[in-house]
Amino acid sequence: MNKLNIIGIIMILFAIFIYATNLLDHIILSITYPFLEGSSKGKSIILFALMGSFLLFYPLFKPKGLLGKKISSLNPKFEFDGQKYLKFTIITIFFTYLIGIIIEIWIRIKMGVSIFTIFTAYNSDGFSSTAITHSHAFKSVLGFVLHSLGIHFSSSINAGDPLALYTIPLSLIILITFPLIYIAGITALSGKRNIHKVIMAFALTILFIGMLDGGIFDFPSWIGLFILLGVYFVKKPYLKNISKPMLIIGLLIILRLSISFFGTNADYHEITIINPSNDINLSGYDVLSVQKEGNKMIVKVPGNIFDKTLLLNLTADLKGKCSGFFLSWNVYSYV
């Protein structure tokens, strides 16, 4: 046992403490919100538990570690090379993010709606929302698997399983990519200096969180990717090589903004309700038009309503009256 192993154990025990009690919820959320962007304590639990596991178990994946020796003996290609494993980790992460984007597009094409929409799905356990700019496609698998095992969360943790009906089977790819990223990532950090181990463990952890909650266009993913790309690319001269990760993250930010503005409909919000019941009441909204197409009801309301307010109101008012709905967005409503 070394110092990092002990820190890892403490972090895992702290994650269990956060899960079992509500004593420090407000304090923890205040600390983690700037880089996790989440109001659910589920992210904090994953942060401490997963990062703690990296710091606790990395000795097993060293070249002479119990698992490291076994992995290296499988094939000459698996012989320890920190940069090689880090490169594989980064490529697998980007591949997973790409699949997440494809899932978001696939859901909307299948339903015949614009890709520039927020989708909210319901089931008996509650609801969950997702969008190409903030994706919960893989979070739905986590919730689905855990609930299938009989593990249920408190109301303060949204596991995203209402979306599973729409994301599976493609989203099940994380059952392959997540273990690969974990094994390759922990192997890559095992050959680094202690400070780099801690930095990489943090980056890998928030990348897992970003893949589950937010996707590639969300802030936690940008932080994690920037750190991993920095560790991979940056060497002397530092200023010259830091430009590579900065360029990649810069392009992701530009793409995120482009999608947000290009997909904006400032004239009206279009609400596409899936499998609506006969008792839907939208009298509290300034309805511009209502149209029915098969199993869909398409409603238009003024575009100057704040996106978040409209989404929250619709989520509450349509609960139990449909299987889900799509909502177009207006970025300018945030200004």
Distances (CA, A) of 264 to 115, 183, 193, 250: 11, 40, 46, 21
Give residue 153's pLDDT. 62
Give the pLDDT score at 80: 79
| Interval 229-255: pLDDT, tens | 999 987 766 666 788 899 999 999 999
What is the reported pTM?
Answer: 0.91
Which numeric CATH code is attached to 268-334?
Answer: 3.30.70
Q: What is the pLDDT of residues 160-204, one digit of tens each?
A: 788 999 999 999 999 999 999 999 999 999 888 899 999 999 999
Q: What is the band of 276 on the pLDDT scale with cuts at 50, 70, 90?
A: very high
Among candidates 24, 58, 64, which has minimal Cα distance to 41? Answer: 24
φ, ψ for residue 118, nearest 5 deg: -100, 130
Domain positions in the chain are: 268-334
Average of per-residue pLDDT values in the chain: 89
Torsion sign (Cα): 145, 114, 100, 248: negative
Helices 194-212 and 3-20, interaxial angle, to 10°? 30
Confidence class of residue 258 from pLDDT cuts 50, 70 and 90? Answer: very high
Residue 81: pLDDT band with limits 50, 70, 90 = confident
Q: Cβ distance 303 to 269 under 8 Å?
A: yes
